[in-house]
């Protein structure tokens, strides 16, 4: 089922046009352990981030991150939330514009689907609000664009995501998902569903349209960069550093005694 999800997601972002600027395009996924999704050290939590290379594309079009903890069905991974930005805008007053989607609304993985996480931008819908720069620049889908008066289904969901999250806001290093893991079975990138993948936009897609103008390139595996990090490890000084700190403390103590 999950492999079918990935195939469908890739199929949803088939190349609609090729451009020379796409030749160097890459997507970088960072799997960060002991991270609450805001870069804050939080034991037992993990976050997944995505970035698109700059200058050779117009931002992320689709995201598919394959994860594993080495246990069948990834038992031990819990509280998994898809945090990719999305929103639906409505024109309830004038009734001129139909309900319009923005962000990652297509083939979006559900909460607690623990193996393949992701979603795609709708490039086939009749009413889509295009946004450039996912994975490259900061943005906010919580801001209602001109021609609309209400919003719904906004993600990240501030209530579900926890303290510090603002509904619809995202950073250049975009938050894909957050979850929890056990120390005995830490999370890593997997290959259960053919590995991680994704796509980028080849043209300016900004503004209201029907999706037909979106030119999208699905990247080859060689263009997907996987990065592991652990905030707990980064916060723990290396043994050599501890030795230097200890020597520094002794030197300071000796100096104080001499002065006394």
Distance CA 213, CA 130 (A): 10
Instruction: For residue 257, give every residue at least 6 positions away whose Cβ sits within 8 Å of its Cβ, in sequence order, or none.
Output: none
Residues 156-179: pLDDT tens digits?
A: 876 666 667 888 999 999 999 999
Residues 47-94: pLDDT tens digits?
A: 999 999 999 999 999 999 999 999 988 999 998 999 999 999 999 999
In the prediction, which pLDDT does 7 show?
A: 52
User: Could you give the percent of the chain with pLDDT greater than 90?
Assistant: 63
Residues 114-135: pLDDT tens digits?
A: 678 999 999 988 899 999 999 9
Sequence length of the chain is: 260
Rg (CA), the chain: 22
Residues 9-19: pLDDT tens digits?
A: 554 444 444 44
Q: Is the pLDDT of residue 242 over 70?
A: no
Distance CA 64, CA 110 (A): 13
What is the four-CA torsion angle of 37, 42, 45, 46, rounded to 10 degrees? Answer: 50
Mean pLDDT, range 223-250, rounded to an integer: 71
Residues 13-42: pLDDT tens digits?
A: 444 444 444 568 999 999 999 999 999 999
Distance CA 119, CA 12 (A): 10
Q: Is the pLDDT of residue 255 over 70?
A: no
**How would residue 210 be classed by pLDDT, with cut points 50, 70 and 90?**
confident
Dihedral sign for Cα atoms in the order 53, 7, 175, 72: negative
């Amino acid at each position: 089922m999950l492999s079918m999800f990935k195939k469908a997601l890739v199929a949803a972002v088939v190349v609609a046009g090729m451009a020379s600027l796409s030749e160097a395009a890459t997507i970088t996924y960072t799997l960060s352990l002991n991270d609450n999704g805001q870069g804050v050290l939080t034991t037992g939590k993990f976050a997944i981030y995505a970035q698109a290379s700059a200058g050779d594309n117009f931002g992320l079009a689709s995201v598919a991150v394959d994860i594993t903890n080495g246990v069948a069905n990834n038992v031990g991974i819990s509280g998994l939330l898809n945090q990719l930005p999305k929103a639906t805008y409505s024109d309830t007053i004038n009734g001129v514009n139909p309900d319009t989607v923005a962000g990652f609304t297509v083939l979006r993985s559900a909460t607690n689907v623990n193996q393949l996480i992701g979603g795609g931008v709708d490039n086939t819908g009749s009413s889509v609000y295009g946004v450039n720069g996912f994975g490259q620049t900061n943005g906010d889908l919580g801001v209602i664009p001109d021609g609309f008066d209400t919003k719904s289904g906004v993600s990240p969901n501030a209530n579900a995501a926890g303290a510090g999250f603002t509904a619809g806001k995202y950073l250049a290093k975009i938050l894909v998902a957050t979850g929890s893991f056990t120390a005995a079975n830490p999370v890593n990138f997997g290959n259960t569903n053919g590995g991680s993948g994704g796509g980028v936009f080849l043209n300016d897609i900004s503004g209201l349209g029907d999706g037909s103008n979106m030119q999208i390139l699905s990247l080859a595996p060689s263009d997907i960069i996987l990065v592991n990090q652990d905030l707990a490890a980064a916060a723990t000084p290396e043994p050599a550093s501890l030795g230097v700190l200890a020597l520094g403390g002794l030197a300071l103590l000796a100096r104080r005694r001499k002065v006394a």
